Chain A
Amino acid sequence: MHLSPDELTALWLSAKIALCCMLACLPAGVAVAWLLARHDFRGKLLLEAFVQLPMVLPPVVPGYLLLVVFGNRGPIGGWLHQHFGVQLAFNWKGAVLASATMAFPLMVQPVRLAFQMIDRRLEQAAATLGASPWRVFATISLPLAIPGIVAGAILCFSRALGEFGATMAFVGNIPGETRTVPLAIYSALHQPGGEAAAARLAALSIALAFAAMLFSHLLTRRSERKLGYRTRAHA
Chain B
Amino acid sequence: MLTLDFEFTRGAFTLRARCEVGATVTGICGPSGAGKSTLLAHIAGLLKPARGRIVFDDQVLFDSSARVFVPAHQRHFGLVFQDGQLFPHLTVRANLLYGQKHLMADQRRFDLRTVLDLLEIDHLLERRPGQLSGGERQRVALGRALLYSPRLLLLDEPLSSLDRRLKAQILPFLKRIRDETGIPMLYVTHAREEITALDGEIVEMEAGMLPAA
* Chain A residues proximal to chain B, CB less than 8 Å: 119, 121-122, 124-133, 135-136, 139-140, 143-144, 226-229, 231
Contacts and interface: CB of A to CB of B under 8 A. Distances in A.
Contact of B79 (A125, A131, A229): A125
B144 interface: yes
Contacts of B128: 228
Contacts of B130: 228, 231
Interface string B87-99: 1110000000011
A144 B88 CA distance: 8
Interface residues of B, number: 29
A125 B77 CA distance: 11
B88 A229 contact: yes
Contacts of B154: 128
Which secondary structure characterizes the binding site on chain B? loop
B143 to A, nearest CB: 12
11 contacts: A124-B41, A124-B46, A124-B85, A125-B79, A127-B73, A128-B73, A128-B77, A129-B78, A129-B148, A144-B88, A226-B89
A229 B87 CA distance: 11
B103 interface: yes
Given A119-B85, A125-B85, A228-B89, A130 B129 contact: no
A177 B71 CA distance: 53
Contacts, number: 71
A122 B85 contact: yes
Contact of A121 (B45, B74, B81): B81
B89 A130 contact: no
A126 B86 CA distance: 9
Interface of B: 41, 44-46, 71-79, 81, 85, 87-89, 98-99, 102-103, 128-130, 144-145, 148, 154
Given A144-B89, A228-B89, A131 B98 contact: yes
A45 B75 CA distance: 34
A74 B193 CA distance: 74
B47 to A, nearest CB: 10
Contact of A128 (B46, B87, B89, B102): B46
A131 B88 CA distance: 17
Contact of B44 (A119, A126, A128, A133): A128
Contacts of B45: 127-128
Nearest to B154: A128
Contacts of A125: 79, 81, 85, 87
Contact of B89 (A119, A133, A143): A143
Contacts of A133: 73
A31 B73 CA distance: 22
Given A128-B72, A128-B79, A129-B145, A121 B89 contact: no
Given A124-B46, A126-B98, A131 B73 contact: yes
